[in-house]
Homo-oligomer: A and B are copies of this chain.
């Protein structure tokens, strides 16, 4: 008699879609299954062509790719000569009972089992097509008004002194020329992608309220200068992405003024969401950004006229400036139809365009391959900051949070997430760490070695401070004596490391568990099983977030370590660590130590 209790059946989850079943190419399908934590010893995927009725299914053992507080996640990629897959799972529980799991549910394993999940056809448009250059890159984000004022002739009417602190209405005169003049500096940091906050006509310093989508803000410079900026960035081997603010416009945009003037007779009346026949302003009878900011009326992006208008804007500037991608503002409140049509059109004119959506919360539904390549990974930052700042948060808790979040996504998407360290919408990392520069370094260390595209917010690299908005938008410090050069050099070294090894852009993440509470450890691995690359690479990252030193050992058996090295060397200081006879390495990390071994 089988003991049903040995398997937590209620916890087993798989659907043949979304992040649980997705193509890698026309003949390769990745499948994932969730089980209760430590409840299953092994999971096997049995698969064959949908229309194959006689031959036995193929066998593929699945990898335990992740574990969070309550669940395990197994994943593998199955291949067939055809694009039509059906499969079921064979689950071996802790008492060695074997279960079959298909769309018909869970049943004791039997020889004549004939139920399946179906992935009926891998369509061309489902094959991932995000650009390699993006996953291989490091982003440098620039809030132009605050970066460098190199051309005084285009300054706004009244600007604050460069050394003063910003308030929400301040202007400082930063401009395109300031970016162009500092391209060598940006490139020297190792960053390869410049992301500019909005550049189109607006009378605010942040320009997240566009007055004219077809005009570049004159206080930043001219169209020629924007073209020059992108061209010269390209000469440095850097890409440029712009901010698309398509959720809302400025109430000074002529599209809105026209409706204000003509009411429902305006050809743009249905471009906004107005409750009534004409616009009323107090109280406002139209939807706006967050439903709270009447100066930023929300565009009705479900309207195809609006979609076409905004797509034409994006196409126009992509071609005019020759930019390489777009960051989409408030991306989760805008019509999916706009994003789908936008991606399609942009890829027609630039097949390797990169599209990054601003989404703070779960973003799965925008990452089916036909909208965004990646999102702003605020969750990863949140967990990292919370771990770094609070001695009571254990590395296990940190990893549980990170893994739970990651398991909302296709593994292949995660390499395109922008792992931001700071941004114009959160505290600067140094301020967030209460000025503890050692912790800042560790955070940079983790982000620059982890999966995803590191994103540096201008100034973080030289120790710029800043609390919540608008303080996080202080002017850049250019005098070397006021810069934290030690921090900068550390970041430059990290950038070189990331370029040195493909594993940082392409490797999987294997969390090293059983480490002391304040130690984060992970492997980055390109293994034989990895479908994209041939060469095997292993790198180990160990980070001590405690001020005290820590001794522990790393067992070879717990690492997914495929070669026969008998020692590992620390990239930064050349320290070597030998595997002893018990096949483990004794590690001693100093307080706030960060080591990368390979």
Which residues of A approach B to under 8 Å, CB–CB? 8-11, 13, 15-18, 35-37, 39, 49-51, 68-71, 82, 84, 103-106, 117-118, 120-121, 123-125, 290-292, 300-302, 332-337, 361-362, 364-365, 400-401, 404, 408
Main secondary structure of the interface of A (DSSP, over half): loop
With A51-B292, A332-B120, A401-B104 as given contacts, are A362 and B11 in contact (CB-CB < 8 Å)? no
User: Looking across the interface, which residue of chain B has its beta carbon closest to that of A71?
Assistant: B10
| A50 / chain B contacts, CB cutoff of 8 Å | 290
Tell whether, in the assembled complex, residue A401 and residue B362 are in contact, meaning their CB atoms are under 8 Å apart. Answer: no
From residue A356, how far is it (CB to closest CB) to chain B in Å? 17
Tell whether, in the assembled complex, residue A106 and residue B15 are in contact, meaning their CB atoms are under 8 Å apart. Answer: no
User: Looking across the interface, which residue of chain B has its beta carbon closest to that of A361?
Assistant: B118
A sample of 8 more A-B contacts (CB under 8 A), given A18-B365, A117-B362, is A9-B70, A10-B35, A10-B36, A10-B70, A15-B408, A50-B290, A84-B290, A123-B336
User: Looking across the interface, which residue of chain B has its beta carbon closest to that of A104?
Assistant: B401
User: Looking across the interface, which residue of chain B has its beta carbon closest to that of A382?
Assistant: B104
One of B36, B125, B361, B408 near A302 (C-beta < 8 A): B125
Tell whether, in the assembled complex, residue B302 and residue A124 are in contact, meaning their CB atoms are under 8 Å apart. Answer: yes
Tell whether, in the assembled complex, residue B117 and residue A291 are in contact, meaning their CB atoms are under 8 Å apart. Answer: no
Kindly state the separation between the CA atoms of A27 and B105 in the bound complex, as whole angstroms. Answer: 35
| A335 / chain B contacts, CB cutoff of 8 Å | 123, 125
Kindly state the separation between the CA atoms of A15 and B365 in the bound complex, as whole angstroms. Answer: 10
Tell whether, in the assembled complex, residue B15 and residue A37 are in contact, meaning their CB atoms are under 8 Å apart. Answer: no
Tell whether, in the assembled complex, residue A8 and residue B8 are in contact, meaning their CB atoms are under 8 Å apart. Answer: yes
User: Looking across the interface, which residue of chain B has its beta carbon closest to that of A333?
Assistant: B121
Tell whether, in the assembled complex, residue B17 and residue A364 are in contact, meaning their CB atoms are under 8 Å apart. Answer: yes
Kindly state the separation between the CA atoms of A238 and B378 in the bound complex, as whole angstroms. Answer: 55
User: Looking across the interface, which residue of chain B has its beta carbon closest to that of A127?
Assistant: B302
| A10 / chain B contacts, CB cutoff of 8 Å | 8, 10-11, 35-37, 39, 70-71
Kindly state the separation between the CA atoms of A37 and B404 in the bound complex, as whole angstroms. Answer: 23
Tell whether, in the assembled complex, residue A103 and residue B16 are in contact, meaning their CB atoms are under 8 Å apart. Answer: no
Can you list 20 A-B contacts (CB < 8 A)? A8-B11, A10-B35, A10-B39, A11-B11, A11-B36, A17-B362, A17-B364, A49-B291, A50-B290, A69-B105, A70-B106, A103-B361, A104-B401, A118-B332, A120-B332, A120-B333, A121-B334, A123-B336, A125-B302, A125-B335
User: Looking across the interface, which residue of chain B has its beta carbon closest to that of A49?
Assistant: B291
| A121 / chain B contacts, CB cutoff of 8 Å | 332-334
The 3 closest A-B pairs by CB, nearest first: A10-B11, A10-B36, A120-B332
User: Looking across the interface, which residue of chain B has its beta carbon closest to that of A335?
Assistant: B123
Tell whether, in the assembled complex, residue A16 and residue B362 are in contact, meaning their CB atoms are under 8 Å apart. Answer: yes
One of B11, B39, B84, B337 near A291 (C-beta < 8 A): B84
